[in-house]
């Protein structure tokens, strides 16, 4: 793209906003808006939005300085209605990794303000407390607060067998620390493990598996699109839905890829974007197509379909009637009001029926990621940050790999391993990645940035390979033939896949 090349030529190390640079960004913004409109109208993308990412700008911008400039300008705009702009007012030019940097800078800024306010508040409290016994009663509380403020990490102390309960309690005790880097400490049962990286990943894997299990009741699995949706009839407390939102936010801050399968509409809702019938297509395409057929039907809608403004929904296995309008059971859907019916029905499914659950979920997410910097992200970028990139290049994984216990890149077994992996189908490669890392997606920067270790696990034998997913470590016996390695590896992958496959049913 000519304009991208021109913009790159204007960028220098430590770049901040300059008039000529902002003018180039403004021109690109016109192209960006046009491209989005064309993409929305066409069945196929006219141009991928990621084509607007400018690598030079993402690499060379002085993010701290530009953030301060952006924040100051935004505050001034609110008070003086001026139109000055910052490079951060053109977020479509920055890749998601760069936006996470801004998000973290924003978090530090927010924490600084919170601590300053807390110090001022504490000073006022102490000044007001004249009696010695009152001061003494606050001493322990003040000591804990000071310790928390001084600790550079959010440390969650949890028991494995009470994971959700302990995480809830810890998070609400340490609510002001949510924007700090996360460390996990397992306690109880004689275990005193402090997180050195692997425990953090294991924690996310276990708690996500628990809360998204359809049997737990918070989410339902939609067979048609293989995604999860908020359970409108869930009896779980709002605090638990808030916890899930907090977990997604913590995953973004700590660079953890989660094995969650929300439809894009969840991320649109988090960003406050308007929803429409197309969003239902991403969740329940058969229902969305039926509604589209209703809108396009050329005959008499009332006589043919006999629909009213009353619909049915499943509550605890029983069908319940819901009126989309007052007295809806007596209002028939006609050619003239069918658009209203479809709009109200889609709004009921995506908004009203899950309002309580989503508001709590959103509240939790914004406790971690809330702030001006969140507006820089498109919904699909939030999804990438949380779930990883679906495009994988296994030659990058081979480049990233390191070896232990006698293996090296030229060892015959290692050579066989990569030949077997590179000959796999795409689905088999994804299954292999899931087997060794716990996710079938790549980090945003690609597999080349993944820490991956292949460790020798004994001499040639019939034992299956094993994996420590928390540490991205493959334990591989020294198989002496290609056939045996391939057969043993595929069996191990299939067994692991069967063990983690959800016992779910469509809705």
CA distances (Å), origin 207, targets 199, 242, 481: 12, 14, 39
> How far does CA 199 lie from the centroid of its chain?
19
Residue 26 · residue 8 · CB < 8 Å: no
How many residues does the structure list for the chain? Answer: 507
Residue 246 · residue 171 · CB < 8 Å: yes
Rounded to a whole number of angstroms, the CA Rg of the chain reads: 27
Among this protein's residues, is 470 annotated catalytic? yes
Residue 29 · residue 86 · CB < 8 Å: no
d(CA 226, CA 507): 11
Residue 253 · residue 107 · CB < 8 Å: yes
Which residue pairs, CB below 8 angstroms and at least 24 apart, start in 292-298?
294/333, 294/338, 294/341, 294/342, 295/338, 295/339, 295/342
Residue 421 · residue 373 · CB < 8 Å: no
Which residues make beta-bridge pairs with 402? Answer: 453
**Closest among 332, 258, 263 to 294, alpha carbons compared:** 332
Q: Residue 115 belongs to what H/E stretch?
A: helix 96-128
Residue 291 · residue 279 · CB < 8 Å: no
Active-site hit among 387, 389, 409, 470? 470
**Closest among 447, 198, 249, 497 to 361, alpha carbons compared:** 249
45 torsion bin: left (phi>0), alpha (psi -120 to 50), beta (else): beta
Question: Strand (E) positions, 240-332?
Answer: 310-315, 318-323
Residue 294 · residue 338 · CB < 8 Å: yes
Catalytic residues: 470
């Amino acid at each position: 793209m000519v304009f991208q090349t021109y913009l790159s030529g204007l960028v220098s190390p430590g770049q901040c906003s300059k008039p000529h640079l902002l003018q180039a960004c403004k021109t690109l913004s016109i192209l960006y808006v046009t491209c989005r409109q064309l993409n929305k109208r066409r069945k196929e993308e006219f141009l991928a939005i990621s084509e607007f990412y400018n690598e030079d700008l993402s690499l060379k911008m002085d993010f701290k300085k530009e953030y301060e400039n952006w924040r100051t300008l935004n505050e001034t705009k609110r008070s003086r209605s001026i139109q000055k702009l910052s490079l951060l007012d053109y977020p479509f030019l920055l890749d998601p990794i760069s936006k996470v940097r801004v998000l973290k800078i924003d978090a530090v800024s927010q924490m600084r303000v919170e601590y300053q306010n807390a110090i001022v508040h504490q000073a006022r409290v102490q000044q007001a407390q004249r009696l010695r016994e009152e001061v003494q009663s606050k001493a322990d509380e003040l000591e804990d607060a000071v310790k928390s403020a001084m600790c550079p990490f959010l440390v969650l102390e949890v028991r494995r067998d009470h994971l959700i309960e302990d995480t809830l309690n810890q998070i609400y005790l340490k609510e002001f620390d949510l924007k700090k880097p996360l460390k996990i400490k397992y306690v109880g049962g004689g275990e005193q493990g402090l997180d050195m990286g692997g425990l953090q990943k294991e924690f996310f894997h276990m708690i996500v598996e628990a809360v998204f299990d359809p049997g737990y009741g918070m989410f339902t699995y939609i067979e048609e699109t293989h995604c999860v949706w908020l359970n409108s009839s869930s009896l779980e407390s709002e605090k638990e839905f808030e916890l899930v939102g907090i977990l997604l936010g913590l995953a973004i801050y700590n660079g953890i890829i989660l094995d969650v399968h929300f439809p894009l509409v969840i991320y649109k809702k988090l960003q406050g974007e308007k929803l429409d019938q197309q969003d239902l297509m991403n969740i329940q395409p058969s229902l969305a197509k039926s509604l589209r057929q209703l809108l396009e039907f050329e005959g008499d809608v009332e006589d043919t379909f006999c629909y009213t403004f009353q619909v049915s929904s499943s509550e605890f296995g029983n069908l319940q009637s819901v009126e989309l309008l007052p007295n809806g059971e007596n209002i028939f859907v006609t050619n003239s009001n069918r658009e209203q019916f479809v709009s109200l029905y889609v709004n009921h499914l995506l908004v009203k029926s899950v309002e309580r659950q989503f508001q709590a979920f959103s509240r939790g997410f914004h406790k971690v990621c809330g702030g001006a910097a969140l507006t820089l992200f498109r919904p699909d970028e939030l999804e990438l940050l949380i779930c990883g990139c679906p495009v994988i290049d296994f030659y990058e994984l081979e480049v990233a790999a390191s070896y232990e216990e006698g293996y090296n890149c030229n060892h015959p077994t290692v050579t066989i391993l990569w030949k077997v992996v590179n000959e796999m189908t795409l689905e088999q490669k994804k299954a292999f990645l899931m087997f060794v890392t716990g996710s079938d997606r790549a980090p945003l920067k690609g597999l080349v940035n993944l820490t991956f270790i292949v460790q020798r696990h004994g001499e040639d034998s019939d034992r299956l390979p094993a994996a420590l997913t928390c540490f991205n470590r493959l334990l591989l016996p020294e198989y002496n033939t290609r056939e045996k390695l391939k057969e043993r590896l595929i069996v191990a992958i299939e067994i692991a896949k069967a063990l983690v496959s959800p016992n779910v049913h469509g809705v």
